[in-house]
């Protein structure tokens, strides 16, 4: 690690701590040349697959969009934040374990629907009715009947 003050390449680690619930490592370093101290942070680098939209565009996976979808479907429903966090973590774990570097948006939508179905049936129907773009009431009725069974 180069010293940010003098650019010397020889620095020593003086102190190491695990910070923020083990999400990263904080290291205090000292430059062997100018004797100044500085802090570095080590975080794991995770790369989610790109999301391929219906029109062929590729966009970066955005966890905020995923959370917004859950929040909209679960609006005014008795589901805790911890349950939503667990569902999102499960989806993200599955995305990280995919061998592909791209995932079609419909596959991500199916993952969301699977998690919502476990959490809350009404939220599942809300999400599915928009996601699947029902053309008529019969398609909606079929979904409701499926959930009732």
Percent of the chain with pLDDT over 70: 99
What is the pTM for the complete model shown? 0.66
pLDDT for residue 29 is more than 90:
yes
Q: For residue 129, which phi and psi values (nearest 5 degrees)?
A: -65, -35
Token look-up 């100044």 returns: 36
Q: How distant, in Å, are the alpha carbons of 2, 42, 70, 80, 139 from that of 27? A: 14, 8, 37, 36, 57
The yes-or-no verdict on residue 105 having pLDDT over 90 is yes
pLDDT computed for residue 118 by the predictor? 93
């Amino acid at each position: 690690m180069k010293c940010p003050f003098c650019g010397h390449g020889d620095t020593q680690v003086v102190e190491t701590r695990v910070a923020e619930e083990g999400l990263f490592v904080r290291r205090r370093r000292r430059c062997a040349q100018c004797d100044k101290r500085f802090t570095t942070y080590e975080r794991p680098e995770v790369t989610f697959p790109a999301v391929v939209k219906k029109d062929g565009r590729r966009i970066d996976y955005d966890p905020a969009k995923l959370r917004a979808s859950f929040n909209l479907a679960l609006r005014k429903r008795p589901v805790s934040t911890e349950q939503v966090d667990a569902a999102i973590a499960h989806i993200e774990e599955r995305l990280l374990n995919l061998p592909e570097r791209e995932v079609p948006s419909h596959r991500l939508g199916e993952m969301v629907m699977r998690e919502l179905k476990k959490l809350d049936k009404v939220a599942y129907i809300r999400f599915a009715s928009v996601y699947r773009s029902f053309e008529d009431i019969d398609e909606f009725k079929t979904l409701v009947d499926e959930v009732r069974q």
